Amino acid sequence: MTPLILLLLLLVVIILLLFFGIKGIWDKKGSGGQGGNGIGIDTSAADSRHTDDSLGLDDSLRLARLADSIRQAYLDDSIRQARLDDSLRLAHLADSIRKAMSRQGSSKDDYLRSKEDSISFAKAKHIDDSIQQARARWIADSIQQARARWIADSIRQAITDSIRIADSIRHAYLDDSLRQARLADSVAKLAVDTAALRAAACARDTVVPWVYADPSGGLHRKPVSVKLVANKSCKVEWSLDGVKDWKVYSGKPIDISKPTTIYYKAVDNCGRVMNIKSKRYEFDMASSRCPAGMEPVKAGGADICVDVYEWPNKKGAAPTSYVSLYQAMDSCFSARKRLCTSDEWTSACAGPERWKYTYGEVYEWNTCATRDSMAQRSGSRPECRGYYGVFDMSGNLAEWTSTAAPQDKSFNNVMGGFWTSGNQSRCADSRYSYFPQNKHNPVGFRCCTDAPPAAGGGR
């Protein structure tokens, strides 16, 4: 801005000089001054015009030259000003540098050293960056290599473990195979030993399996729940439908409330078989006319009442033996009863089917006490029950009757056999060799009475 102002001032000065200079020259010519080189006012018009044209041309030239000078001066001044500005800027820059250097207390050598240090720092930084990059690449490579080694080691370890496990499995399999082989040998040996022991046990075991129904068949006054009881360990099967649809007996009682025949059989661990047996159950729900402890029996068209058990007529009691005929009669009379006749006794034992034994047609050694060392308690053999519900009339104790023996009237019939009679314990079997006044160890008795009249006066 300053050069422009100076230029304008210079231009104004030049214009004023030109104006006043031209006016002075013009005044001298117009006054007609004297002299060799003066120009008078009386000069002709042509000369005047010539002079005027010459002056105008010179002025134009001078103005042109002046303008060129002014432009050149302006350019020179602009150049000088630019150089001055550059010089000022350089001086300012140099001063700033000097001040900076003075503030830092550095010399040219220090500046150069600082420059070298900067270059060295740049180089060092570059080198450090290169080192860091190389270190990073080295670390990355090391990590990758370590990972690769770890993976390889893991794979090798897994393979080693797999081989070890496989070896362990093979050894375990071999050991297990050996153990199984030994176990199989042991089982086989045990089976042989068990078979031998079973054979030896079976050789010693001469008891055939035996199953009885409790309560046994015959006439009953109310529904029954039948248990099948075995004399030894064995498999028991039963059926209510003939000899088919067999069921394994589980121990649960079999409920029966209407006329039914139950079939049952058994086999033990030695293969011994009990043949099929059957019991027929019938029911008479009418109230009995007999006194307590007695059952009604049909005997020769008459209704009588017979003691259920041998004297003293109590279930579970030991029956009275070693008694004479007269003692037996007196005991029954004391209970307002009488001694049974041979026919009444046989009817109560054989039932309406006239069985040979109180339980049926075929002798069964373990149904009643016929192969024992002594008399058993009354009612302890559930199957030794007659059709009418009277117990122990085959075996256990032989029983006095009030009937004289046909072979010898001085003797009375003793019926039914006793605990060692075996199959000689039929309902019709009688003995007459016992003196009536003597007491005899295997002989007991039971009592009978006539049944009270039925309601309405009938018998």
Least confident of 120-129, 210-219, 231-240, 360-369: 120-129
Across the strands, what pairs with 268? Answer: 234
Residues 446 and 328 in one domain: yes
What is the layout of strands, in order, in the sheet containing 254-256? Answer: 211-214, 224-230, 254-256
pLDDT at 147: 75
Q: Is residue 165 part of a domain?
A: no
The boundaries of the domain holding residue 366 are 294-450
Of 416, 401, 408, which is closest to residue 340 (Cα–Cα)?
401
Q: Is the pLDDT score of 159 beyond 60?
A: yes
Residues 412 and 335 in one domain: yes
- 31: confidence class by pLDDT, cuts 50, 70, 90: very low
Q: Is residue 315 part of a domain?
A: yes
Residues 249 and 320 in one domain: no
Q: How far is CA 362 from the centre of its chain?
A: 59
Residue 248, classed as helix, strand or coil, is strand
Single out the residue in 231, 264, 283 at which a domain terminates: 283
pLDDT at 13: 79
Residues 356 and 274 in one domain: no
Q: Averaged over 47-69, what is the pLDDT?
A: 55
Count: domains in the chain: 2
Residues 364 and 326 in one domain: yes
- 9: confidence class by pLDDT, cuts 50, 70, 90: confident
Residues 263 and 369 in one domain: no
**pLDDT tens-digit readout, 269-310:** 999 999 999 999 999 999 899 999 999 999 988 999 999 999
Residue 432, classed as helix, strand or coil, is coil
Q: Averaged over 243-259, what is the pLDDT?
A: 93
**pLDDT tens-digit readout, 103-114:** 655 555 555 565
pLDDT at 232: 92
Question: Which residues, in sequence order, are CB contacts of 329 under 8 Å at separation 6+?
Answer: 338, 339, 402
Residues 352 and 388 in one domain: yes
Single out the residue in 225, 253, 283 at which a domain terminates: 283
**pLDDT tens-digit readout, 112-151:** 565 565 566 666 667 667 777 877 787 777 777 877 787 7
d(CA 248, CA 320): 41
pLDDT at 48: 43
Of 249, 294, 271, which is closest to residue 451 (Cα–Cα)?
294
User: For the packed helices 108-204 and 45-104, what is the interaxial angle rounded to 10 degrees?
Assistant: 50
Q: Is the pLDDT score of 458 beyond 50?
A: no
Single out the residue in 249, 283, 317 at which a domain terminates: 283
d(CA 333, CA 114): 157
pLDDT at 456: 56
Q: Is the pLDDT score of 167 beyond 90?
A: no
pLDDT at 47: 43
CATH of the domain at 278: 2.60.40.10
Q: Is residue 63 part of a domain?
A: no
Q: Is the pLDDT score of 50 beyond 60?
A: no
Percent of the chain whose predicted confidence (pLDDT) is above 90: 49
Q: Is the pLDDT score of 160 beyond 60?
A: yes
CB 414 within 8 A of CB 398: yes
- 83: confidence class by pLDDT, cuts 50, 70, 90: low
CATH of the domain at 445: 3.90.1580.10
Residues 390 and 255 in one domain: no
- What mean pLDDT value characterizes the chain? 82
Q: CA of 59: how far to CAs of 7, 25, 30, 188, in Å? A: 22, 12, 17, 156
Residues 255 and 301 in one domain: no
pLDDT at 108: 52
pLDDT at 35: 40
Longest dimension (CA), the chain: 239
277, containing H or E segment = strand 273-283
pLDDT at 439: 95
What are the counts of helices (DSSP H) followed by strands (DSSP E) for the chain? 5, 16
Q: Is residue 416 part of a domain?
A: yes
Please give the torsion angle defined by the CA atoms of residues 224, 299, 361 and 286, in that order, rounded to the nearest 10 degrees: -10
Q: Is residue 190 part of a domain?
A: no
Least confident of 145-154, 198-207, 373-382: 145-154
Residues 373 and 335 in one domain: yes
Q: Is residue 309 part of a domain?
A: yes
| Identity of the highest mean pLDDT range in 63-72, 97-106, 254-263 | 254-263
Residues 235 and 325 in one domain: no
Q: Is residue 336 part of a domain?
A: yes
Q: Is residue 238 part of a domain?
A: yes
pLDDT at 272: 93
Task: Please state the φ and ψ torsions of residue 300, each to the nearest 5 degrees.
Answer: 60, 40
Residue 302, classed as helix, strand or coil, is strand
Residues 257 and 300 in one domain: no
CB 441 within 8 A of CB 434: no
